[in-house]
Every structure is written in structure tokens, then in C-alpha cells.
Amino acid sequence: MKNKKFITLGFASVGVAVTLLFSSTLFAKTNEDNTKKEASRLQSLAKFTKVISIVEKYDVDEITIEELIDKALDGMMKNLDAHSNYLTQKDYKKLKVQTSGEFGGLGITVGIKDGALTVIAPLEGTPADKAGLKAGDIILKINKESTLNMTIDEAVAIMRGKVGTPIDLTIVRENEPKPLNIHIVRGVITIQSVYAKQIGKDLLYIRVTSFDQKVAIDVAKEIKKKKATTKGIILDLRNNPGGLLDQAVGLVDIFVDKGTIVSQKGRHKSDDIVYSASASKTLTKVPMVVLVNGGSASASEIVSGALQDHKRAVLVGQNTFGKGSVQVVLPITKTEAIKLTIARYYLPSGRTIQAVGVKPDVEVFPGEVKTHKNNFSLKEADLKKHLQKELKKVDGKKEDKEDKKEDKDIITPKMLSKDIQLKEAVDIIKALVIIKG
């Protein structure tokens, strides 16, 4: 027994020795790696300082160290991704104005797509919308200045300006043989984000143009108003460039009672967040159709993708823009900051939006509903002895009055005929209502 005990203790001692040796080796390797990283870091900083010093001393034009640092920071941030950038004192001030008050502008959201400055969406009712700009338009020139290698922020800075001043955009549009010149007069950008209309007796149409601070509340109000008579909802997110994440989450929560709405994952665990639905905030479970297109971006993609993953709605239209990244503004001095991409969004199923977008369940291209009048078909009214009395009820004054009545809160069959995507959505929602019973 003594020998056995000795052997056991001896084995344990060897195990401890091996563990200590392994730990010591691992610590030494980790320490060596850290030393190498630190040395590499110092070499890189020394190289950067050397280049700055050489340029400051020998460049053909006299340039200060402050200007060189600003240019270096600007170039570094631009090369990270399309949405990160360095904000100088002037840029930072403009950003604060944009997020806190009214400003003179065109009313478009732009992005870099395939290396070109592209219109993500014109905001409804703004000068850009009235001038005819469309999602997907590529901006070649702004007031004769080429947009080649121009950043988003540089383009926005040029397009924003004093209310009432003109601007000319040269654009390339799909299916147009040559570039178009669009003349726009800057206006005050004030946006109503939520519109609600009735289709027939029991369908509610809700249009969300952007995700500002009151979207979830305003949509909830419209649903509560018509809850008693609503059998189906069409949520229109076409040309919606996005906005606040919490409003996207709040909007999905109105229709989904449990599960993940969206998650974000970054480089560090502290950046990982999961947003979940709550049954207490759910207002309705009626059938839904969501309209999307290439101008639906960011928060719009979160909403449409989450509703699709939860099998809560049928998506109709075209593939969305594909912006699935999270940006934060981090001050570096009292007057300067950087805008940095810190995470990516992921839908409930785990799929990413970034550079992929959300694919609709039913793809429908924009346009009018094509109709063909058949003058050769024979109807009851063409028969000599059709029932006149019944016909008068249909063709009489009562229906004429209804045809002449135009309500801004009602979408008529005539309006539907001009929007084939919306018409398709109405047909699908009617079928879903019938199936639900």
C-alpha cells in the first residue's frame, strides 16, 4: 500500500512538474509574442514619424505638421471602409447641425456602391424627390465637379447649403442612353416619417420614409386607430435610407412577440448586443406584406429581414441596398472626432445584411399595371334583354359620386394601377387574409 501511495504521489508530482513547465513555456512564448508586437508597433510609428518629417521638410509647398497630421488621419480613416472618416472641426460642427436641427439641402441619402457615388434614396417630399432623383442613380458630377474619388461626406458637404440656392447634378440612370442633368433648388429638410392610408375597407397601408425618433410611436398610433377594422397591413419601406436602430427594433416589436430581432457583433465582446422582441409591446398579428427596393437600407433592412426571418411578413419588390454596419462618432478633442465602423448587424437567422441586402420573397420590378381592353368580348350588358334595373344600381349616380370622391387617406384602384409593386402587395395580402379566414 505504501508503494502504491508513493507511486500515486510520484505521478502527481510529475504532473505538477509538467504543468509548471508547460505554463512557464506558454508564459515565455506569450511574453515573446508581446515583445515582438510592441517592437513592430514602435517601428511602424517611427516610420510614420519619419515620413511626416521628410514631407514637412522637402515638399514643394510649405505645409505645417498640423495639416500633415490631419491629412494622414483623413486618409487612414477613408481607407478603412466607406463609412468611416475623420471629422475636422468644420465637419464635426456640420454633423451636429445635421443631427440636431434643420438645414438646407436636397433630401437624399447617398452611399458608395461599386466605387460610385450612388443615391440610396430621395426622401419623400424633398427637393430631390420633386426634381425626379431616383434610388440607384449614380452621381457623376456635382456642379461640374467630378465625384470620382470623392467621399460621402465631401459630397454631402457640397450638396448641403443655403436654402433657396441652386445645384446641378449630372447622373447616370439605368436604361437611360446618356447622362441626365438634374437642376435642384435647396430647401429646408423637414420630414414626416410615417404616413397611413386605407385600401378598401380592411387593409391598412403604412409608409415609413426614414427612421427618426418617433417612428415606432407613430406607427403604433396608426395601428391602434384602425385596429378594429384592419385585417391586413402593408408596410412600405421602399426608398427608406434607414436611421435610428432603436426605432427599427421598436417597429419590429409591434409585430413580433418573441425571439431575436437583430444582433450586432464587433471585434470586442463589449460591442456584441442582441435585441429581442417583447410580447407586451406586440399590437397585432394580422397578415403582413412589406415593400422593399434598392433604396431600402440599414434600419429598413433590419425591419424587413427580421419580419422575413420570423415568417411574419411576405417581402415584395427588389433586393435591398446592403448596408449592415454600425458606426459611432468618437470625439478625439473638444472640436474633432472620428466616425468609426465598430460592428456588423445580423438578422435573427444569423445571416448578414452587409453588401448582400435582403432578397424579397416575390420579386416585382417598378412600373404601371399593364391592362389590355378587349373590345371583342361579350358581356351581360351587351345582351338585348339584360336586366336594366340591376344595371342602373351599378352604373347610376351613387357610384359616380364614389368615383369622384378623392380622399388623401385612401388609396384608390386608379392609384394601384400606377404602382405594380403595391398592386402585387395588395393581391398577396388579400390572399393571406382569405387563408387566415
Query: In this predicted model, what pLDDT tens digit does every residue of 160-176 receive, in sequence order?
Result: 888 899 999 999 999 99
Confidence of residue 23 (pLDDT cuts 50, 70, 90): low
Angle between helices 245-255 and 215-226 (to 10 degrees): 20
298 is catalytic: yes
Q: Which of 253, 309, 325, 419 is catalytic?
A: 309
The reported pLDDT for the residue numbered 398 is 46
Angstrom distances, CA of residue 177 to CA of 171, 183, 397 = 12, 19, 48
The SS3 assignment for 116 reads: strand
Residue 274: alpha-carbon gap to chain centroid? 18
Q: How far apart are CA 278 and CA 255, in angstroms?
A: 10
DSSP 334: S
343-348-351 Cα angle (round to 5): 65
Residue 132: alpha-carbon gap to chain centroid? 21
The reported pLDDT for the residue numbered 319 is 97
Q: How far apart are CA 160 and CA 167, in angstroms?
A: 9
Placement of cell 420573397 in the chain? 361
Q: Which of 113, 323, 423, 430 is catalytic?
A: 323
Among 93-97, 156-160, 289-293, which stretch is predicted with the lowest mean pLDDT? 93-97
SS3 content of the chain, % helix, strand, coil (to 5): 40, 25, 35
Most confident of the following: 264-268, 335-339, 359-363: 359-363
Does residue 182 carry a pLDDT above 70? yes
Q: Indicate the average pLDDT of the chain.
A: 86
Does residue 271 carry a pLDDT above 70? yes
C-alpha closest to that of 185 among 201, 168, 202: 168
Placement of cell 513555456 in the chain? 25
The reported pLDDT for the residue numbered 104 is 77
- Domains of the chain are 103-188 (2.30.42.10), 194-363 (3.90.226.10)
Checking 401-409 for CB contacts under 8 A at 24+ apart, the result is 408/197, 409/196, 409/197, 409/198
Question: pTM for the full model?
Answer: 0.71
Among 145-154, 333-342, 386-395, which stretch is predicted with the lowest mean pLDDT? 386-395
The reported pLDDT for the residue numbered 12 is 43
Among 4-13, 153-162, 212-221, 414-423, which stretch is predicted with the lowest mean pLDDT? 4-13
The mean pLDDT of 66-74, rounded to a whole number, is 94
Rounded to 10 degrees, what is the CA torsion of 35, 39, 40, 41?
Answer: 100
Q: Which of 210, 296, 298, 300 is catalytic?
A: 298
Confidence of residue 403 (pLDDT cuts 50, 70, 90): very low
The mean pLDDT of 5-19, rounded to a whole number, is 45
